Each structure stands twice: as C-alpha cells, then as structure tokens.
A and B are shown apart, each in its own frame.
Chain A
Amino acid sequence: MQPCSREMQGMSSLLNASSSQISLEDLQQQQSQSSSSIQGSQIHQIHASHYEPPPSHDDFLEQMLSTLGPPSWADLGGQPGKVPWDTTTTVPDGNGPNNKPRDDETPDNVPAFPFDESANLASKFRNHQISGGCGSKSAAAAAAAMMLQHQLMLARGGGAAGAGETGLVPMPLSLSNGEFDRSQNDVVDGSSSFKSPTSGCDAAVQALYNGFGAGSLAGAGQAPNQFHHPQGGSMAAQQNYGASGPAMNQTQAPSGSSGAQPAQPRPRVRARRGQATDPHSIAERLRRERIAERMKALQELVPNANKTDKASMLDEIIDYVKFLQLQVKVLSMSRLGGAAAVAPLVADMSPEGNGGDCIQANSNGGTHGRTSNGNTNNNQTASSNDTMTVTEHQVAKLMEEDMGSAMQYLQGKGLCLMPISLATAISTATCHTRNPMINNNHHHPPIGSNGEGPSSPSMSVLTVQSATTGNGAAAADGSVKDAASVSQPW
C-alpha cells in the first residue's frame, strides 16, 4: 500500500483539533470492528492524498488525457488554466496535436483499400496519433477532475475509480461537496441498495468531517458503504460547503426538483417533480446517471466520439479498443529486429489466408482465390526501410476478415474506396495533401503534416504494386464496389 509514514504526516497536518483526532480514532475503532483495517488505511490514504502530491492515478490520467487529444468539457466549464497539482509541462511528448507524424505510421501509407475490419479500424483512427500530445492537458485534467469527483460522489463505495482519483480532491472541493450533499439526501432514506452502518458512527463521522473537510468525503467515496451513509445526516449539517453546490447539482438532477436542497438537513427524500420516491427508481436514476458519466468519460478518451447515441458510442469504443489491441499486435511483430525479419514475416502473412487486392507489397490471399504475387514483392518490402514496417504489418492484418462486410462497414462510415488507378493518379498528381483524404473518415481533418515527401512516393509505390497485383487478380467485384463507393463521399 502507500507508505504509511507519509500518510501519518499528512494526517497529522490535517488534524488541527484534538477532538478530531479522538473522533478519528473512534472512527477507526468502529471501522476495524466492522471490517478490516483497509478502510482505515484508505482513510489515511485519502487524507494524505489530500495534501500530498497526487498518487498513482490522476497524473497518469492527465498524461493519458493529454496524449489522447483535447476533450470537450465545455459543459462542465473546465478551465484551461493549470490545476494546482499540475507539475508537468503541457506538451509531454514534445508533440503537438497531430503535428508530428510517425514516419512508420503515417496514415497516407495505409493503402486505399482497407478490406478488413482491422483496416477499418486503422483507417478510422488513423488521424488519432497516439504519440501526439495535446496542449490542453490541464484543461483535460481539470475537467476530468470534476468529472471524477462526480463519479466519486455518486459511486458509493462502488467503483475502484475512487481509489485513484482521490488526488483530484483539492480542486473542486466545494462543488463536489455540495454535490455529495445533495446526492446523500437522495439516498439516505430508504435506499435499499445501500446498507447503513451503526448509528454510533454518526457523531464520530460528523466530527471527522468537520475536521477534514469535504475533500475527504470524495476520497471516502471509495470506502465501503457503511462509512458513507452516516454522512447523510452529518453532511447535511455542514452547510458551509453547499455554496457552490448548485453548479454541480444541476448536472445531477433535473432542475424541477422540489426537494433535496442542500440548505437544510433532510432526513427524508423529497420527490422530484414527476418522479416517485420509490427507492428503486431513485437507485435506478442514480445508476443511469453514473452510466452516463462513464460514457462521457469514455467519449473523451475515444477519438471521433461525437456521437450522442449510446449504441453508436459503444460501437466506437469497441472499435477503438480493437484498434489499440491491433496496434499492440502489430508493434510486437515489428519488434523482431529490423528489416531482415520483415521479409520472412511478410512471407508468413501470405499463406494465412490473406485476401484481396492487397495494396501492400507482401501478400495476396488465397482464400478469395486471388493470385498471389506476394513473393515477387517481398524483395521490395525487404528493401524498404523500417518506417514502412509497421504500416505494412498493419495492412497485412487486413486480410483476416470478410471483405464484403468490411466494404459495407466502410461505406457506412463514409470512407472512400477508390480504384487503384484513381488513387495512383491522385497521389502522383496532388501529392501529400490528398493522401490523408483518400482513406480518411470524413470526420478527420486532413493532416497536412502527414504528407511528407517520403510518404507520397511510397504511396504511389504501394498503389503501383497493388495495381499490378490487384488488376491481375480476380477482383472484379472488388473494383466494382470500389467504383461504387467512390461516389459516396465525393
């Protein structure tokens, strides 16, 4: 677990009144009798993290958020300024957003015929440069902090999310507390899904929270339910924190609420307008809100996630996870020691049932009855530098899925398939500015910087090779579909 000495220091700094100390000990005793000392240590951890540099998760979170693109947290009012615990620079990788393409992963090297699910994924997420940094990292962190505070408030000892994000406590202190207060009022009465602890905890808990403030509440969201719920009464009593409550409260509940004001202690749950006090519906409502929050969080992580529909959002999430896993697989293959290994690896691909008009030099599949010219092209592949390696493997992955469904999927996504001759013409004529647009999902803006010098010649090389292989192959239906789908986005 966390180093205990640090926690003790943090705790001692927090404890400014002996009564609070005593109450903490009382609380600890209560805790220890009801469950293990885990909760105690977690409280330590939580309180310590209130002052200490944020532990494991939140900087990780910031890092991830920064590298994964700017979020849209306008509704939560995320400040674009630095958050107090932000100790790192805003550009961790030295890469701006989408401005430093990896040579071996430039999208325009991915050929114009993604036949495969993996190709779909690759083309869909091509513009999402994982290595790209983001300037609004602190905004992301701040917004994520608030969002996770939300989660903590609503997740009564439910998720492990509370564990990591206790470090985010300092910032939206009052907000979260007001939020927490309100939600506590909702569930304190008659919520069947939560067990309420012995009432003996109440006084101790109240003193505890008087001493430690709202931040610890958020952290304690991770603690078991029994620790949470006596706060319903005690928190209601601490109304000095409820000042900024309304800002967050609105996000939680419809505004027509006739009850659950943070101003007075409310032992009883008042019904919102048009809703019953039925504990099941309340629990269900909370649950739906929680799900919505998590979906929002995921929306920030997944690129191209401007879908409001939950089902399509899930689709995007699934696709993105598959894409990332595919990237790991491809990278692990390219790790085998350079170009020398590429050729045999590439030869390995061809008997694996690769299909179709393989734009890549390596393989054409036998499963679809197409002629395999892979071997002749292997030499060219081997001679190409490693910047092409990853892309090649990635494309080699294309040949694993059914082509027809892949094509339909592509068309549904608004991607453009084009005949190789057309692609060749375009790439040679208009160079790099066109390349990103050829395969891109129309959501993605063309990345001008991706079209560097080396990439376009390689593109044309690829298309030339594929022209030789593709046209030679029995790809009649393919090319017809290609022609058909060209018309869509253009």
Chain B
Amino acid sequence: MTNSPKGFTLNNADSCRVKFARRFLRSLIEIKTRQTNYNNNLSSSPSSSSEIRRRSERIKLKAYSSMAHAVGPRKAWTRALLLKLHNRAKRHRFRTRKRSSLAMVLKKKRVFRVKNHANFYKPAAERGNYSVLNSDEKTEKLRELVPGGKAMDICSLLEETAHFIKCLAMQVQVMHEIADQLSN
C-alpha cells in the first residue's frame, strides 16, 4: 500500500486499515488457491460467467467480513454483520467456522446490550417519540442497508450509520488501492 506509513507509529485509523487490508488480502489468496485447486480437480473453466459471479460474490463477502473483523465487535453493526456472515457460512458450508470467535461475539453482544439505552425496550409511543423518524419509510430503507439496523432506534441507527459509512469508505479506498496494485 502506497499510503500506509510503515516507518511511523500507526495510529488507530491506520491500524484499522492495515488490519482490514491484511485480512482481505489473505482472503483473496485463499479464494485464489481454492479456485486453482478446484480447477485442478474438476477442470471446469474458470471464466464461466456463473463461476465468475460466484467468485466475485465471495470476494465481496470476504471484504465485508474482513472489515467487520478489523473493526471488531465494538459496534452493533459489526456484530450483526459478523453474525449474518457466520450464519450464512454455516448454512452454506455445513461446517462450523470460527466457533470460538462467534461465541465471543455473542458474549460481547450480551455485555454491550446491558449498557443500551433504557428506552430501547419500550415501544415507540411510550418513549415519547414524537419524531417521525422512527418509522419513516426512509428510515426503513436505512435499516435495511445498515446491518443490524432493524433492531435499533433511530438514535443508534444514525450513529451506527455514521460509523458504517466511515468504514465503508475506508473499505472502498483500500480495495481500490489493492486493485490498483494488482493490476499494475
């Protein structure tokens, strides 16, 4: 990566990027080796359209998973994303991956929930919610976009959205740089 300061002390933003980059590159390598193994075994064309689509989907999922892992289970959206990825992995592969980290994620999730706002468990009307934002169609759309957004009130949803946007931007930037490096 051209812009990561290797000679200096890495601050936390950079460490996040470096963590993400490392994980993502590792997943890329893993996908590549899996692809070549698959091709060696079954001589299927690597450039068939469905194969490519599946591979890109896999890469995309790996990108999100690397990012969620790099950020850690601190935020609600990373926890939701990690859970979703884990469930998907379990469902699709029928083998348990990273059980221990999943358990850790769940434990942390419980712990974090203790500190949640007291209003969370009350219905919207009782919270004194006169703001339209909580059940707007736009907020619904936002909830769909942000992982874990369905179970949040508008306050935390906005907060999570901000952090999510930040992480997405970082992810896009890093992936962009990686693509540049790989294509040069």
Residues of A within 8 A of B (CB): 35-36, 38, 53-65, 67-68, 87-88, 92-94, 102, 104-105, 130-131, 151, 155-161, 163-164, 193-195, 222-225, 280-281, 283-284, 287-288, 290-291, 294-295, 297-298, 301-302, 310-311, 314-315, 317-318, 320-322, 324-325, 327-329, 331-338, 340-341, 344-345, 347-348, 351, 386, 389-390
Contacts and interface: CB of A to CB of B under 8 A. Distances in A.
Contacts of A65: 166
B142 A60 contact: no
Select the residue from B57, B63, B72, B145 with max chain A CB neighbours within 10 A: B145
B165 A301 contact: yes
Contacts of B176: 102, 105, 130-131, 331, 390
Nearest to B168: A324
A317 B161 contact: yes
Interface residues of B, number: 75
B170 to A, nearest CB: 6
* B interface: dominant SS: helix
Contacts of B119: 158, 193, 283, 287
Interface string B143-184: 001100000001110110110111111111101111110110
Contacts, number: 241
Nearest to B155: A290
B129 A284 contact: yes
B13 A62 contact: yes
A57 B71 CA distance: 9
Interface string B51-67: 01101110110011000
Given A332-B175, A348-B50, 9 more contacts: A56-B16, A131-B176, A157-B115, A158-B156, A161-B159, A284-B129, A328-B175, A332-B60, A335-B28
B49 A194 contact: no
Contact of B130 (A223, A284, A302): A284
A315 B178 contact: no
B159 A318 contact: no
A336 B56 contact: yes
Nearest to A280: B128
A340 B162 CA distance: 38
Interface string B68-82: 000010111000000
Contacts of B53: 348
Contacts of B155: 155, 158-159, 287, 290-291, 294
B17 A298 contact: no
A225 B60 contact: no
Contact of A324 (B75, B127, B165): B165
Contact of A158 (B116, B136, B178): B116
A344 B159 CA distance: 41
15 contacts: A54-B12, A59-B14, A61-B13, A151-B159, A158-B119, A225-B118, A291-B131, A291-B155, A311-B136, A321-B165, A324-B172, A328-B172, A341-B52, A347-B49, A389-B183
Nearest to A103: B180
A338 B179 CA distance: 9
A318 B60 CA distance: 20
Interface centre among B50, B52, B178 (most CB of A within 10 A): B52
Contacts of A93: 3, 173
B41 interface: no
A163 B72 CA distance: 13
A102 B142 contact: no
B162 A297 contact: yes
Most buried by A among B5, B75, B159, B175: B159
B11 interface: yes
A153 to B, nearest CB: 14
B3 A92 contact: yes
B170 A64 contact: yes
Nearest to A298: B162
Given A158-B156, A310-B133, A314-B142, A88 B11 contact: yes
Contact of B166 (A56, A280, A301, A389): A301
Contact of A287 (B52, B57, B74, B131): B131
A61 B173 CA distance: 15
A159 B117 contact: yes
Of the listed residues B52, B56, B145, the one surrounded by the most CB atoms of chain A closer than 10 A to its CB is B56
B9 A298 contact: no
B26 interface: no
